[in-house]
Structure 1
Amino acid sequence: MKNIFADLGLDQSDELMTRAQLLHGVGILIKASKLSEQKVAKRLGITQPKVSLLVSGSLSAFSADTLIHYLSLLGYHV
């Protein structure tokens, strides 16, 4: 897979790409669950505005470890 972050010459491009892929996976699982953002927030132990950031793809708001944790809480085995 092409790393757009490396193409842009950004520092830590591999980390950014990994986080982007994890965030994309979390977003897909949230949308596929068809749960409200409130219910997803409860499942993840976060606020609804944080769920909104996940769904909208706010990369800077989440670390890779946090995204991996959310994936596991959503039933994805990492």
Structure 2
Amino acid sequence: MFEDLGVNNAEEHLAKADLVSKIASVIETRGLTQVEAARLIGLPQPKVSLLVRGIFRDFSTERLCRILNRLGVTVSMVLIEEPDWRPGMTTVSEQEQDSDDLFYGDTEQSGPAFSL
């Protein structure tokens, strides 16, 4: 979608848009005001306002992941090496499951494998 609009780094922009959409969804689902959300995630309320309105250019992917973590959302990254060495993709998908059931590599761990 963003590629069609000529946006630089369209794939990354789409991934960030998905993260921001989840942030807004969690804030709404939990019935948080922007002031409450700001306090919880450690941002000024005007920055939260920008995020929920879809303005996120100044936010890195890592920062958006930390915001999700502070909102109680576990962010899990899966790295897949393409067998024919073609360029890889960056995607964000949502999965409903307990964080204790996440599987990391060859061993199960309770909690996140790492924190951003």
Same fold (TM over 0.5): yes
Match of 2:74, SS?
coil
Structure 2: stretches of 5+ with no match in the other structure: 76-116
CA RMSD of aligned residues (A): 1.1
Aligned to 2:30: 33
TM-score by length of 1: 0.87
Decide whether the 8 Å contact of 1:53 with 1:61 is kept in 2. no
TM-score by length of 2: 0.61
Greater share of helix residues, 1 or 2?
Answer: 1
Q: In structure 2, what residue type is equivalent to 1:58?
A: I
Task: Give the percent of matched residue pairs that are identical in Structure 1 and Structure 2.
Answer: 36
1:10 correspondence with 2:11: no
Structure 1: stretches of 5+ with no match in the other structure: none
- Post-superposition offset of 1:35: 1.4
Give the structure, 1 or 2, with the largest relative contact order (CA under 8 Å, sep 6 or more): 1
Aligned residues: 75
Aligned to 1:76: 73
1:49 correspondence with 2:85: no
- Post-superposition offset of 1:39: 1.1
